[in-house]
Amino acid sequence: MLILVLNPGSTSLKLAVFQDETLLHEKSFRFPADALEQMKDPNFRASYCRELIDGYLAEEGLSAESLDCVVASGGVLGKVNTGAYRVNEKMIEFVHNSPARAHSIGVVIAYDMMNPLGKPSLIYDAVTADEWDPIAKVTGIKGYEKPAQQHTLNCRRIMTKLSERFGKPVGEINAIVSHLGGGIDTSFFREGRLVETMGFNELGFTPERCGAIHFNDLLKMTKTKTFDELQPLNRGKGGLMSHFGTVSVEAVEAMIDAGDETAALVLEAMAYRIAQCIGAGAVALEGKIDAIVLTGGIAHSKRFTEWIIRRVDFLGPIIMLPGEFEIEALAAGARRVLLGEEEVQEY
pLDDT confidence of residue 186: 97
Cα 22 to chain centroid distance, Å, stands at 24
Identical fold, 2-129+327-346 and 154-316: yes
Q: Measured between alpha carbons, how far is 42 from 174 in angstroms, rounded to an integer? A: 39
Q: Measured between alpha carbons, how far is 339 from 332 in angstroms, rounded to an integer? A: 11
* Overall CATH class of domain 154-316: alpha beta
**Concatenated DSSP letters for 261-307?**
HHHHHHHHHHHHHHHHHHHHHHHHTTT--SEEEEEEGGGG-HHHHHH
pLDDT at 333 over 70: yes
Q: Measured between alpha carbons, how far is 8 from 48 in angstroms, rounded to an integer? A: 12
Q: Rounded mean pLDDT of 55-62?
A: 94
**3-state class of 278 per DSSP?**
helix
pLDDT confidence of residue 102: 64
Question: Could you report the per-residue pLDDT of 171-193, keeping only the tens digit for each?
Answer: 999 999 999 988 899 999 999 99
Give me the residue spans of the domains in the chain.
2-129+327-346, 154-316
Question: Could you report the per-residue pLDDT of 5-57, keeping only the tens digit for each?
Answer: 999 877 788 999 999 889 999 999 988 878 877 877 888 888 999 999 999 99
Q: What is the largest CA-CA distance in the chain?
A: 60
**3-state class of 239 per DSSP?**
helix
pLDDT confidence of residue 11: 74
Question: Could you report the per-residue pLDDT of 230-276, keeping only the tens digit for each?
Answer: 888 887 789 999 999 998 999 999 999 999 999 999 999 999 999 99
pTM across the whole model: 0.90
Q: Rounded mean pLDDT of 56-72?
A: 95
Least confident of 27-31, 84-88, 297-301: 27-31
Percent of the residues in the chain that have a pLDDT greater than 70, as a whole number: 99
Q: What is the DSSP letter of 125?
A: S
Q: Rounded mean pLDDT of 280-306?
A: 97
In sequence order, the 6+-apart residues with CB closer than 8 A to the CB of 309 are 294, 318
Asked whether the beta carbons of 336 and 78 are under 8 A apart, the reply is no
- Mean pLDDT score of the chain: 93
Q: Measured between alpha carbons, how far is 117 from 111 in angstroms, rounded to an integer? A: 10
Instruction: Identify the architecture of domain 2-129+327-346 in CATH.
Output: 2-Layer Sandwich (3.30)
